[in-house]
């Protein structure tokens, strides 16, 4: 039985989290500036370039191309390595670190500096609802949903309860929480679905959610506003708000708020990586996993021109444009810079794992570019490849892939 939990309108106005709470406005998320590696300088991300500076949109294009070239060099250095075993892609060819480290060093905006990764919003407290419409105007109480076991004969899920929780007022700002009621502090796993940023739903992640719940984790399977409903950075805002809500009410779901990972698929992998590089270290985050992650929308834009035969690459280019509010890089360079995960990397970021198929339409270069950028800050990232063309969840279901991902997750959680 699912227990629905929602947020009243009154809670939005009444709840006060405390003076340390940060307001996650779209402007704040979109304009978070990127710390630079040692030895580099912070440059302004202006829309118009002075005579001696390259326009920001051109820098982003150059960065994406540099990342792709670095990735190709990395591939060449892998000759003889068995891709089927999923060995880490080291990309240790000469010049790779220098090229990828330079990519994205230009700041997105000097106007707002990156803040520490405290809970990003004053998220309203969820409250229980019934099938009848609530009419009371009293201040909402701390949610106390009725606990009921999940409808399953699986002994590994005995005692598991599923709640649907609203972390914001929009219909897409919902998450399914799979948890125990024993009061123990369990590690958490946040799952973010894919779908070109414009489609998809948490319901398609049910089996994967169940697989992590079977291992004893508290699992948060989240929805977020799609690009047709809200442009970037709304999707990152939603992911951060869902995490903030879970951490704030951790005791309701037997969840340790200082011990969790985020796992994203395809476009959801982009959001997971964006969470991992937001600010200077999100409290409690231990690791990020991307399954076919589109970590560079700019690279997707460059690789999906009309002269490209691969229809999926062309579709991904259009999806990236829609994510940016229908605006192309030359007209909206700050938005595109904000969407580039590698440009937000810092020393406070957590280790990441990415898995790609060798011939899929989201190539491994996306993750190799991020890997080099993180390495310039002393942060580790493992990149695995699998033979074939499978993308996202179908690739995750290949023999041995889910097990390797789950082993990596277990190694990061305390």
* pLDDT, tens digit, 9 for 90 and up, residues 20-78: 333 333 444 444 434 343 333 333 333 333 334 445 555 555 565 555 555 454 444 44
At 331-388, the pLDDT tens digits run: 999 999 999 999 999 999 999 999 999 999 999 999 999 999 999 999 999 999 999 9
Please indicate whether residue 389 or residue 135 has the higher confidence score (pLDDT).
389
Assigned fold of 52-77+86-104+152-412: Rossmann fold (3.40.50)
Per-residue pLDDT at 17 exceeds 80 = no
Per-residue pLDDT at 319 exceeds 50 = yes
Average pLDDT, the chain: 76
CA atoms within 13 A on the CB side of 181: 13
- Contact between 321 and 327 under an 8 Å Cβ cutoff? The reply is yes
CA angle 315, 317, 321 (to 5 degrees): 115
CA–CA separation, 180 and 252 (whole Å)? 9
19 band by pLDDT with thresholds 50, 70 and 90: very low
Q: Check residue 183 and give its pLDDT.
A: 87
């Amino acid at each position: 039985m699912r227990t629905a939990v929602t947020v009243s309108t009154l809670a939005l106005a009444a709840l006060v989290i405390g003076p340390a709470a940060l307001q996650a406005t779209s402007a704040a998320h979109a304009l978070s500036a990127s710390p630079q590696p040692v030895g580099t300088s912070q440059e302004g991300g202006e829309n118009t370039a002075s005579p001696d500076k390259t326009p920001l949109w051109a820098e982003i294009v150059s960065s994406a191309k540099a990342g792709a070239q670095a990735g190709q060099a990395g591939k060449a250095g892998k000759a003889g390595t068995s891709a089927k075993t999923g060995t880490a892609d080291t990309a240790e060819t000469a010049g790779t670190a220098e090229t990828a480290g330079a990519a994205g060093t230009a700041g997105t905006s000097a106007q707002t500096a990156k803040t520490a990764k405290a809970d990003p919003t004053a998220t309203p407290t969820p409250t229980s609802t019934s099938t009848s419409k609530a009419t009371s105007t009293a201040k909402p109480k701390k949610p106390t949903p009725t606990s009921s076991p999940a409808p399953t004969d699986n002994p590994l899920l005995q005692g598991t309860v599923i709640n649907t929780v609203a972390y914001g007022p929009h219909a897409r700002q919902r998450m399914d929480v799979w948890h125990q009621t024993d009061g123990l502090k369990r590690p958490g796993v946040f799952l973010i679905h894919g779908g070109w940023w414009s489609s998809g739903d948490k319901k398609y992640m049910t089996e994967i959610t169940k697989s992590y719940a079977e291992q004893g984790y508290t699992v948060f399977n989240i929805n977020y506003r799609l690009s047709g409903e809200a442009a970037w950075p709304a999707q990152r805002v939603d992911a951060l708000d869902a995490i903030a809500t879970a951490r704030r009410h951790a005791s309701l779901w037997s969840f340790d708020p200082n011990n969790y990972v985020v796992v994203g698929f395809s476009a959801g992998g982009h959001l997971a990586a964006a969470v991992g590089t937001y600010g200077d270290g999100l409290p409690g985050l231990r690791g990020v996993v991307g399954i076919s992650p589109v970590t560079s929308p700019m690279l997707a834009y460059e690789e999906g021109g009309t002269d490209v035969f691969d229809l999926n690459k062309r579709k991904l280019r259009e999806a990236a444009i829609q994510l940016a509010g229908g605006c192309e890089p030359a007209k909206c360079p700050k938005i595109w810079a904000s969407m580039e995960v590698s440009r937000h990397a810092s020393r406070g970021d957590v280790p990441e794992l990415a898995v790609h198929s060798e011939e899929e339409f989201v190539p491994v270069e996306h993750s190799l570019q991020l890997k080099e950028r993180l390495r310039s800050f002393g942060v580790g990232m493992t990149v695995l490849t699998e033979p074939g063309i499978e993308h996202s969840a179908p690739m995750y279901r290949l023999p041995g892939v889910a097990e390797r991902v789950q082993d990596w997750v277990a190694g990061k959680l305390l």
